[in-house]
Amino acid sequence: MNYIKIYFNKENIDDLLIDDIVDFFKVEKKESDKIEYKSYDVRGSKKKDIPDSIFESICAFLNTEGGLLIWGAPKGETGENKKDKIFKGDLSPVAELYEQDAFINKVSDLITPTPNRIQFRQLDYQGKYVYIMHIQKSPYSPHQYRGKYYMRLDGQSRVAPHAYIEALFRKVTFPNISAYIKFPLKIQVPNSREAWISIELMLSFWNKSQFQNDFDLYYRLITEEGCIDHKSWDFNLDKDLEYQNHFSILNRYNAKGVIYYGEPVQEYRKILLNNNDVGEFNFNMILAFGTRLSPCKWEITMSIF
């Protein structure tokens, strides 16, 4: 979830300017489960320490739905007949400078397991600093800070109850497998109207989940026009192929035993079309794929040539 886009209408955290933060607090703001404001008054026991509450909030965002943490926000005030704090007006910048690498290293040292979905932005303001942290929901939760688990609830970071942590430990996660069809890589159009047009394409599969390998990739390739070239494959050498419906459907089993993070699995295929059908041709294909751990997905591709 891009909370920078949601709250500031900017695509990336690096696009944020100090004027965006100043303008943001020109109107009253309240905290929620997705955004939290910290003033400079939350200093640690030692003046230059990063306060515990910063790490507690980061841990809470990781364990729930992610969000934004703004350190150097205006001081929260409770108005008359109001339960929630209101944040508006002058910023309360932080006197100490915390470099991005040093801050991220500190987070990695103190929060376990080590989180990897935190973005950090330092902005100068009147000789001091405002810090923005963009935290994504972690696929490896629950995380803990100093032996405690935290969660976002009613706009606050709180120690998580046992039942919530137990549910996080038991949650089912699947590797994120994606695929696409790249085509045409090459088109061979013969001179004879009786021959077939050959269209070469590439099937590419990716595991986008860090630290989660997947297994036993399979796919089904369906062409709505023409047929899938089967003559280039030796059935005796590759028994994991199955053709159906006059070679318009290809079932490919055991395309890859282990799918590692970031390593593409690529296969090349050819589609044969009747030369008499050439003109402005709408070419449609469907690629269904799955693995042992990941549910089946679909990719639909259309090309005009």
Say whether both 31 and 154 belong to one domain.
yes
Place of tokens 């976002």: 152
Number of domains in the chain: 2
> Which residues, 6+ apart, have CB-to-CB distance to 108 below 8 Å?
114, 115
> Residue 49's domain is classified under what CATH number?
3.30.950
34 with 165, same domain: the answer is yes
Asked whether residue 187 falls in the same domain as residue 149, the answer is no
Same domain, 196 and 288: yes
CA angle, residues 130, 70, 77, in degrees to nearest 5: 105
Q: Which of 141, 170, 199 is the last residue of a domain?
A: 170
* 54-to-93, 104, 107, 221 alpha-carbon distances in Å: 15, 12, 10, 50
182-215 per-position pLDDT tens digit: 877 677 776 665 577 888 889 999 998 776 788 9
The pLDDT averaged over each successive group of 10 residues in the chain (305 residues) is 93 94 94 92 62 94 94 86 83 92 90 88 95 91 90 89 79 78 76 74 87 87 87 60 90 91 89 68 82 83 62
Claim to verify: residue 249 and residue 101 sit in the same structural domain:
no
Strand partners, 149: 144
Give the domain extent around 27: 3-170
- Give the span between the Cα atoms of 54 and 87, in whole angstroms: 17
- Count the neighbouring beta carbons within 10 Å of the beta carbon of residue 214: 22
Q: Which of 287, 286, 271 is nearest to 226 (CA)?
A: 271
This prediction has a pTM of: 0.58
- Which pLDDT does position 45 carry in this prediction? 45
Question: Are 50 and 143 contained in the same domain?
Answer: yes
Q: Are residues 7 and 119 in the same domain?
A: yes
